[in-house]
Chains A and B, each alone.
Chain A
Amino acid sequence: SLAATLTALSADVSEDTLCLSLCDSRHRRTKTDRCLFLSGGGAAKVVAAGLVTVGGGIGGTILYAKWDNKFRAAVENNVPYSDWLLGLALGPPSPKSGLPIKKQYKDCHEHQDTSVTAAVHPDTESPTATEPLKERPVEEVAAILAQQDQEEQDIATSVSASLEESLTSSAKATLQAIGAQEAALQAITRHTLKLKEAMEAEEKSAQWKDLEAALADRTGAVNDAETALSKANEALDSLKSVIDKSKGLKVSAVRPLVLAAEENLHNMVVDLDKVVTKVHSAESEAKIVSQYSELVNEAKQQFQREVSSLTPEIQANWKGLTGKLSSDDLNALIAHAHRRIDQLNRELAEQRVREQIHIDAALEQQKLEDQKALEKAVSTALQHIKEEARLEQERKLSELREVMEAEMRTQLRRQAAAHTDHVRDVLKVQEQELRVDAEQVLSSKMLEQETRYRQLSQEQLDNFTLDMNTAYARLKGMEEAIDSHVVAEEEARKAHQLWLSVEALNYTLKTANADIPTVPLEGAAQAVRDSCHDSDFALALSSALPEESLHRGVYSEASLRARFNSLRSLARRVALIDESHNSLYQYFLSYLQAALLFEEKQEAPPAQLCSEDLDPFKLLSYASYCLEHGDLELAAKLVNQLRGEARRVVEDWLTEARLTLETRQVVSLLSAYANAVGLGTTQAP
C-alpha cells in the first residue's frame, strides 16, 4: 500500500509538473488569458456576491416564515414552489393556535355547565322545569315522571329498610345499654348500700363476702354497662351515618322516615345520656362512700397496726381474738385506747376548729364539681334542646313542604285542567283545519290519479301507434334496403362488367407482337361501350379511342422502339435537309455529316431543352435513351422537336407513337375509372 501511495503521489506530482509545464507554456503563450482570468476573477466575485445575496435572501425568508405563520402563508400563496421548499425546511405549517385555545376553553365551560346541570337535575322533581324552551312529549314526561317516582319509591323503600334495620339494631343496643346501665346502677347502689351497712354494722364475714360479691357484681355490671354503652354508641353512630346518608339522598318520600328515625335516635341518645348520668352520679356517690370506707379501713388498719405494734403476738385479726390477751396487754391496750381517745379528741377539737374551713373547702370543691356537673348537664341539655329544636324545625319544614306540595299540586292540576281545555279547543280547531286540508289533498290526489290514468292510457295508445309506425317504417326500411341492395348489386355487376371489358381492352393492347399491330380494338371498345351505358365519362372515353386503333390496332412499344432504332440512322442521314436545304448536294453533305459525326447512343435528356439540345443528333440520342427506359411519351415529345426532312422521315413513327400513347392513355383512364367504380360499389351506398 505504501508503494501504491508513493506511486500515486508520484503520479500526482508528475501530473502536477506536467500540468505546470503546460500551464507555463500556456502562460507564456497567452498573456491575454491572464487578463481574462483577472477579469474573470471580477466576474467570479460578482457571481459569488450574487449567490451570497440570493442564499441570504432565501435563508432570511425561511427564518421569518418559521417565526411568522402569516408571512409564511403569504409567501406560499404568491411564490410558486415555495410551499415545497418551506415544507422541506420547516415541516408542515402548524394550524392557527388561537382556535384550539378557544375551543379548549369552550369545552371546559361546556363540561362545567353539563356537570352543573347534571347535579341540578336530580334535585328537581319535575323534569320539565329544567328543560329550556323545549317541551318534551307527554309520554316522555310521564315516563320520566313514572321512572322518577319508581326510583324514589325504590330509594325510599331501601332507605326505610336500612333505617329500620339500623333503628332496630340501635334500639336493641340502646335498650341493652340502658338495661346494662340500669343493672350497673343497681349494682352500684347495692354495693354502696352494702358498703354503708358494712361500715356501720359489725364486721361480719358474711357481710364482707356479700360486699365482695357486691363489688364483683358491681365491677362486672359496670364493665357490661361500658361495653353495652360502647356498642350502643356504635349502633347510634351507624344509625346517625345512615340517617345522614339518607338525608344526603334528598328524596322527599324518605323525609318523614328520616325524621322519625332522627327523633328515635334523639330519644335513645337522651335516654342513654340520662341513664349514663344516673350511673355517673351513683358512681360518684359510690366513690364517696368507698372513699369513706377506705378511710375507715385505713383508720382500722392504723389502729390494728398500733395494736399489733403494742401487742405483736396477737394477730391483727378480729376473728382470731379469743381469750389470749393478758392483763398487761389489756392494760397496754387500754392505755393505747385512752391515748387514742385523747388523740382523737384533740383531732376532733381540731376538726371542729377547722370545720368551717373544711366545710368551705368542701363546699368550694362541691361547688366546682357542681359547676362542672352543671356545665355538663347544661351542655347536654343544650344539645338535647338544640337537637329537639332542629327536629321540630325539620318536622315543621316537612309539614310546610307537604302543604306547599299539596298546594302546588292543586295549582298544577288547575293549570293542567286549563291546559287540557285549551288543548282541546286548539285540537278541535286543528282537526277542522286538518280535515279541510286532508280533503283538499285527497281531492287533488284523486284528480292527479285520474289525469295520470288518462295520461297512461293515452300513452299506451301512443306507444302502440308508435310501435306500429316503427314496425311499418322498419319494414319499409328493410324493403328499401333490399331494393337498394339489389340496385347496388346491379351496380356492382355493371361495374364488374365494365371492369372486365376494360381489362379485356387492356389485354388486347398486349396482343401486339413485334411489327404486328394489336388486333383492332373495335370489339373490345364496343364491349366497353356496351357495359357503360349510363356512365358518360366512360362513354366519352371509349369514344375518344382513335379510329386507327379501333380499326387497325396499335403498335406495341417494343415494335416502336425497334423501328426507331432503324429510323434513327435514316434521320441522322437526312439531318441537314429541310425546306431550304434539300438539293442532292445537301443530301451528300448530310450523309457525310452522318458518317463523320459520332454522338452518344443514348443520353439522358435534361429537364428543360435549351436551343443546343434541338440538334437532331442530340434529340435522337435523348429519344433513344427515353425509349430504352420505356418513356415513349417523352421520346415522342423529343422526336417531335425534329425539323425538316428528319421530321418527315419520322412522321409516321411519330403518328404511330401518338396513336399508341393515346390508346394507352384512354385505356388506362378507363381502367382507373373501372377500378374506382368497382371499389365504389363495394361500399354501401
Chain B
Amino acid sequence: MADEHGRKWDRCLADTAVKTVTGLGVGIMFSVLFFKRRTWPVSLGSGLGLGMGYANCQHDFRSPYLIHGRVVKDQ
C-alpha cells in the first residue's frame, strides 16, 4: 500500500528524530558528566542517534527485500 510508505517514512523520521535527540541528550549528558563539556560526545551521541535512526530507517525500507536464509547442513 502506498500508505505504508508514508507510514514508514513517518516512523522513520520520528524514530530518527527520537534517536538523534536521545543521542544528543546522552551525549550532552556524557559530555557534561564525563567529558568536561567537550563537544565530541554530543556529536558522537547525536551521530550515533542519527546513524541508528538511519540504519533503522534503511532497514525498515529494506525489510521487504531482506531474505532470511538458513544454512542447511548436509547430514
Contacts and interface: CB of A to CB of B under 8 A. Distances in A.
Given A584-B57, A584-B58, A567 B65 contact: no
A570 B65 contact: no
A106 interface: no
B65 A579 contact: yes
Interface string A554-570: 00000000000011001
Main secondary structure of the interface of A (DSSP, over half): helix
Contacts of A651: 1
Contact of A582 (B1, B5, B62): B62
Contacts of A577: 61
Contacts, number: 29
A574 B58 contact: no
Contact of B61 (A567, A584, A650): A584
Interface residues of B, number: 10
A445 to B, nearest CB: 109
A652 B4 CA distance: 11
Nearest to A573: B5
Interface residues of A, number: 18
A653 B57 CA distance: 24
Contact of A649 (B2, B57, B62): B2
Contact of A570 (B2, B58, B62, B64): B2
A645 B5 CA distance: 10
Interface string A570-599: 100010011100111001000000000000
A648 interface: yes
Contacts of A567: 2
Interface in A643-663: 645, 648-653
Contacts of B61: 577, 582, 584, 587
Nearest to A648: B64
27 contacts: A566-B2, A567-B2, A570-B2, A570-B5, A574-B5, A577-B61, A578-B65, A579-B65, A582-B58, A582-B61, A582-B65, A583-B58, A583-B62, A584-B54, A584-B57, A584-B58, A584-B61, A645-B64, A648-B64, A649-B1, A649-B2, A649-B5, A650-B2, A651-B1, A652-B1, A652-B2, A653-B2
Interface of B: 1-2, 5, 54, 57-58, 61-62, 64-65
Interface of A: 566-567, 570, 574, 577-579, 582-584, 587, 645, 648-653
Ordered nearest first, which 4 A-B pairs have the shortest CB separation?
A: A652-B1, A579-B65, A570-B2, A582-B62
